[in-house]
Amino acid sequence: MSSIDLSQFHQVFFEESLEGLDSMENCLLEIDVSHIDRELINTIFRAAHSIKGGSGTFGFTDIAQFTHVIETLLDEIRSDQRGLTQANVELFLQSVDCLRNMLADLQDGRPVDLTQADKLRQQFEGMINEPGQPSTVVAEDEPENLDTQLGGSRWRIKFAPGSDIIQTGNEPYRIIAELHLLGSVETEVDISRLPEFDAIDGEQCYLQWQFLVTGDDIREEQLNEVFEWVRDDSEIEIVCESEVSENAVIEVVQDTHPEPVKHGPSVSAPPPPVASEPKESANEGRPVTSKNAEHASIRVSIDKIDSLINMVGELVITQSMLGELGRDFNMDSLHLLQEGLSQLEHHTRELQENVMRIRMLPISFTFSRMPRLVRDLSSKLGKKVELKLIGENTELDKTVMEKIGDPLVHMVRNSLDHGLESPEQRKAAGKSETGTLTLNAYHHGGNIVIEIIDDGRGIDTEKIRNKAIERELIKPTDELSREQIYQLLFRPGFSTAEQVSDVSGRGVGMDVVKRNIQELNGSIEMESEPGVGSTFKIILPLTLAILDGQLFKLGSETYILPLVSIVESIQIKPSNMNLVAGSVDVFRLRHEYVPVIKLAEVFDVSTGTRDTAEGLLVVVEGDNKKVALLVDDLLGQQQVVIKSLESNYQRVDGISGATILGDGTVALILDVPGIIKMSGIKLSASGSAFIDKGKQSAA
């Protein structure tokens, strides 16, 4: 019989298992041990059971065995054999983390690290066999009778699956693997239904099995759960041999076929799927799912698919109309052609938006990590914190969401450690002992805004300033605005923490946060009021695939600036130009001086404008610095599809990507922070400009 290659379904298993772990974690965080919600316990149990069954199906027995011991304790709790304690909850949460790590090992093609799982398994077994609780340990003075020692756990099972069981997605060897998790299994295979070789259908099941399962206190409901997914299509008999007579049938689930199963010659069953032992060859033959983008998947609502299909239909209609015009075109039909092209443009734009919407996911996928993080860290820091999540259904691109997760965790950790006070400090300040941390997401224009708000102590600007002077980042004579002082927090290695902890205060994090956000073409802003609290605002594009850009001319080439980076465009007035440091042009823009970068010099474009008396200035902001770019001419605004220059060619300083324009020419997309670095112009903390001669000559 031909076998199905299950490796193609590995990624689906990983995704569903991670969703199950998220569900377990959320339920565990909701549980109140003094008033147990039985539905929460059942939800946790079902998630663990699904993970165990799926891992057994795919031969990931390490995960199946570990999940089985979790399921055992959960089953005792939900059947009221024992109460739920806070220690149980903590252990379940640790097991969720452990399973995530084990799944990550499998996804990356690494041998599963069982160190943590073995330690947790010992703790689970200790709880299950805890004195004063129902125990599976047999007293030493009990008689040496096998049935007594096994607590009546000797079961004979007849399993005759329906012939189409494989077509319904149920593999018989998954059943066998799950039985092996319960105890020792002796197996006989009945091949009496097997047809002649030329009549065998690879998608039909012809075999039947008899199992003798023995183990410690195996219960009827555990066996029922093993066959839960196949009971409607199979004939199943389960007999408890050690408690009733050999012929007593505990459960019979009749198949649609009335004939009894006939036993033919018995042959030895193939061994069940075994655990993937850590071997040097463990990576061979296993898909490295997390490293191969082609295996990544995303769940899409049917409404989005229907909308997409509808738009494709509209495009087909427009294409047919234009085709008819092309076959019999004359000047009298010009208005029809223009109308058709207008419709084509409209439908193409809608199709593009619908396709992009398919990649959109609610930010709740990222926010869901925060309750556990806040719970653990607040407990560790001895703080009382209430977490509020607002705008969880706000959607953004899957890629953006994946990359913003870690920076958001950094921000939350800093708010918990530095922002919110201890209960004693809050009480002394006249506040509630419980601090509030709010995560708020919403759409604004073509961007998504994520706010991290706390009602803590606020930011002490004087403390930051003194620390910056101490580290020689600024001079004592520098006059800094509040915003400029805030920006010092994002300098590499900067920290005001008096003591280094494993939560924060090591000077690592905020500069990385800022860099990661800028790599997403985003920005970060902050506001703070001493004694009231702080707000960090992350502004990101909804997608990384489409860009609203400003086209401009430099020499004979066309370049693009992201609209999100542009402050304004102005005609140069010679009276507003000044020269500082002997070589840096600055432009007076109302009440501030903005350094001018001549792009023709940066990119060495011989035909580009170098004279500030000519051309136009485009004022842009990048890396929280404002500069003016000297260009030849502005051509207009356009939405463009971003193509990676690095993957198609190589990384180029000052260029973030490229696109193909309507006339077929390639236009480079400028990276504003990179341009500022290439130019050699720096802005001091006080806002004055100077030039790095070494960088300028290198450019």
Q: Which residues are catalytic?
A: 49, 71, 414
Secondary structure of residue 692 in the 3-state scheme: coil
Beta strands 434-444; 384-390: pairing state: parallel
Calculate Rg over the CA atoms of the chain: 33
Q: Where are the alpha helices (DSSP H) in 273-422?
A: 302-327, 334-358, 364-367, 370-381, 398-414
Q: How far apart are CA 676 and CA 674, in angstroms?
A: 5
Burial class (CB within 10 angstroms; exposed 0-12, middle 13-18, buried 19+) of 669: buried
Quickly count: other Cβ atoms within 10 Å of residue 232's Cβ: 11
Contact (Cβ atoms closer than 8 angstroms) between residue 390 and residue 450: no
Tokens of 365: 């996928």
Secondary structure of residue 582 in the 3-state scheme: coil
Q: Which amino acid is at 631?
A: V
Beta carbons within 8 Å of 661's beta carbon, 6+ residues apart: 551, 558, 638, 640, 667
Contact (Cβ atoms closer than 8 angstroms) between residue 252 and residue 237: yes
Burial class (CB within 10 angstroms; exposed 0-12, middle 13-18, buried 19+) of 571: exposed
Size of the chain, expressed as the number of residues it contains: 699
Tokens of 259: 């004939």
Q: Where are the alpha helices (DSSP H) in 10-60?
A: 10-30, 38-57
